[in-house]
A and B are shown apart, each in its own frame.
Chain A
Amino acid sequence: MSLFSKENREALIGPLHLNNPVTVQVLGICSALAVTSQLEPAIVMGLSVTVITAFANVIISLLRKTVPNRIRIIVQLVVVATLVTLVSQVLKAYAYDVSVQLSVYVGLIITNCILMGRLEAFAMMNGPWESFLDGVGSGLGYAWVLVAVGFVRELLGSGTLLGLRVIPESIYAENGGFYVNNGMMTMPAMALILCGCLIWASRALTKEQK
């Protein structure tokens, strides 16, 4: 059994596109709306979810033969909640500004359906390495959607990327130019609409491939 057998590659790459948790399974949408008005929190959130999904998957996979069936969901929740609390504490200590922006949404990763879905559907039945790849894949699948939405929203909503100015000051209406930021982009509703566009694009592509 090689480390990157066909099944393992599938577990890692599948969620990025054909089986994407956001665009195909439409999971984890709630946090995708809240943290994507700027690129930086979107990246941090995507990475946090990736790390938590990967490690929760590994831990549950290691424990899978010992977990009493009747309390398995509780065990999964405890593992996820512990990891989320750890990540949130680390962010508060080493990335304070971002943790303020993400506010409650780091804590809400606990309720992210992607996590519970992967634990119950994959980690309970597969070995640690496969589960790790599956977790990383699902997390990154979620992360790239967040980053894509965050990219568009920050660029059009405030004319910056990662806080750096991209659209030059001189073309703004208040400086005598013609350009005005699209305030709509900073509202949560636009995240839904952008997600919708992504889902549409990704499904149209998938259909062609089949």
Chain B
Amino acid sequence: MNTNNNTYTVVYASVMVVIVAFLLAFVSSALKPTQEQNVALDKKKQILAALNIRNLDNADSIEARYNAVVQADQVVSADGTIVKDGASKENDGFRVANKDITADCLPVYVCEVDGETKYVVPMTGRGLWGGLWGYMAVNADLQTIYGAYISHESETAGLGALIAEESFQQKFCGKHLFADTDSTQVALTVVKNGKVELGKENWQVDGITGATLTSVGVANMVTQGLQQYMGYFQSVK
């Protein structure tokens, strides 16, 4: 047969494309549930990490801890009204992707660790090379930080990438949200390593040497991210 014939070439290409399309569509729909489960599991792991519950390796222990710790995944709006109560723990706030967070759609995870209520809120921002995201756990007094989890897309290995290390995230623990207890303006921020000012230790966190722009990105993410929830924090108080 003449394989250089035009008709043959066109028919060959069309048949090939149809076969490939069916194959890929089939595989994609077959594997989708497993993939979504992985993404959800990863998100739960991050939320737990913000509550200083780390080093959970297998899927079952993550699911179990998440269900035990998280009481509700609410969706709130900027003025503090609760849009969805999140009683099911993973259908309301949990379903909100980071890019969909707006003033009318702010996820909050109400959690309970050792009998105390903690509020975990997601944050997103931009570092030097790409996106940053994380979760911040706030104590029931709505004044102090319980724990933090931060990750990044592509910060410089060995420098900016250190923000994803536990040792950096630990520095947020116990810090204050505000400069004074009556304030509603979030003061918590990240400054250059070693430049924490005297008397402001309560809300300034040491950044990472050699990664000034990443540290600035984290500072903006934390300050702006928490500021969005001010209405909610006021209403919970």
Residues of A within 8 A of B (CB): 37, 65-71, 74-75, 78, 82, 85-86, 89-90, 92-94, 96, 100, 157, 183, 186-187
Contacts and interface: CB of A to CB of B under 8 A. Distances in A.
Contact of B12 (A68, A90, A94, A187): A68
A182 B9 CA distance: 55
A71 B3 CA distance: 10
Contact of A187 (B3, B38, B157): B157
Contacts, number: 62
Contacts of B13: 71, 74-75
Contact of B34 (A70, A94, A100): A94
Given A68-B8, A93-B31, A96-B42, 4 more contacts: A66-B12, A70-B9, A75-B16, A85-B27
A82 B20 contact: yes
Contacts of A74: 13
B162 to A, nearest CB: 10
B199 interface: no
Contacts of A89: 27-28, 31, 35
B198 interface: no
Nearest to A68: B9
B3 A92 contact: no
Given A68-B12, A71-B13, A78-B16, A86 B4 contact: no
A94 B159 CA distance: 31
For the side of the interface on B, what is the size category?
20 to 34
A79 to B, nearest CB: 8
Contacts of B23: 82, 86
The 9 closest A-B pairs by CB, nearest first: A96-B38, A183-B158, A186-B157, A93-B34, A68-B9, A93-B31, A92-B35, A186-B158, A68-B3
A69 B31 CA distance: 35
Interface string B92-115: 000000000000000000000000
Select the residue from A65, A67, A68 with max chain B CB neighbours within 10 A: A68
Nearest to A82: B20
Contacts of A187: 156-158
Contacts of B8: 68
Contacts of A75: 12-13, 16
Interface string B151-162: 000001111000
A90 B35 CA distance: 9
A85 B8 CA distance: 27
